[in-house]
Structure 1
Amino acid sequence: MRSCFLCVLVFSLCFSCVEKTKKQTIVGSWELLSARIYKGDSSYSSVHANEKLIKIFNRTHFAFLRHDVHKGKDSLPVFVAGGGEYTFENGTYTEYVEFLNYREWEGKVFEFNATIANDTLTISGIEKIEELGVDHKIIEVYKRL
């Protein structure tokens, strides 16, 4: 009986020390830290210091809100909102834009690379809409809220 108890104890200790890998989930709220657009030989930040953007994911949909931090009371008022369905599988993040105040972007699909490391989400890839002359690479970095 004592040897049986000892075996169970040793077995339990061995498996309790195994670190469980926790799958990183995109579900939640994220704040944009930086966003760069690369076109040809040039690049620029697509969000200014006086703006704030959050992106929110549930299991099937995303939404984002971007506005100026001065509540529209300075010379550069900004408000952008959009959302739709998404998939995130094996490092590929695909957005199906259903809603956006830039209506000509609605119905477009964008496929990006995405990684989550601790509380940081990085999204990169090509945004291309021929009829609008949009063709550039983006890199966005978010922190989990």
Structure 2
Amino acid sequence: MKSSLFILVLILGLSCKDKTKVPAPAEPKKDSDRSIVGTWKLVYGEIKEEDSVQIKDLSEADFIKIINEDHFAFFNQPKEGGEGFYGGGGTYTLDGNNYTEVLNYVAVDEVRGHEFPFSIEIKGDTLIQSGIEDVPEAGIKRHIVEKYIKID
């Protein structure tokens, strides 16, 4: 009788066990899942050409960059009126801190299809992008530093 009672208590105990599933461990994130994906607003832009440095005036326009898993787009929107609006976009690759844009959609023919290699760093909600833009066909050879804050 005692063994029957023990078996009954054991069965009851096992049947009351919490049956909720334990979640599987998260898979490691791929580069495409990194925090680069989102909408970014330019807060600082610096262009070095030869012996001059130019700081982008952001008081008159907003410069936004949107990055998804494999494409990027950017636009410069004047705060008043439409003169000075421009944009572009294309694909990108990300390998560690090496970020390369291929500008597929842009109004300047000499730049279309060109690869732009950059180094990126993400600190909290800030993306820092720097590198040399070198397009001989367009007469472009400059070092840029851009700092963005994430707005989405």
TM-score between both structures, scaled by the size of structure 2: 0.74
Per-residue deviation, residues 109-134 of structure 1 (Å, max 9, x unmatched): 01000000100000000000112211
**Structure 1 vs Structure 2 CA RMSD:** 1.4
Secondary structure in 1 aligned to 2:134? strand
Query: 1:137 aligns to what?
Result: 143
TM-score between both structures, scaled by the size of structure 1: 0.77
Contact 2:47 2:142 in 1 (8 A): yes
The CA deviation at 1:102 is: 2.4
Secondary structure in 2 aligned to 1:131? helix
CA distance in 1, matches of 2:115, 2:94: 13
Query: 1:84 aligns to what?
Result: 90
CA distance in 2, matches of 1:57, 1:108: 18
Larger Rg: 2
Query: 1:60 aligns to what?
Result: 70
Count of aligned pairs between the two proteins: 119
CA 68–85 in structure 1, closer or farther in 2 if over 3 Å, else same: same
**Structure 2: which 5+ runs fail to align?**
1-32
Query: 1:107 aligns to what?
Result: 113
Query: 1:5 aligns to what?
Result: none
Contact 1:29 1:56 in 2 (8 A): yes
CA 97–47 in structure 1, closer or farther in 2 if over 3 Å, else same: farther
State the AA in 1 paired with 2:139: G
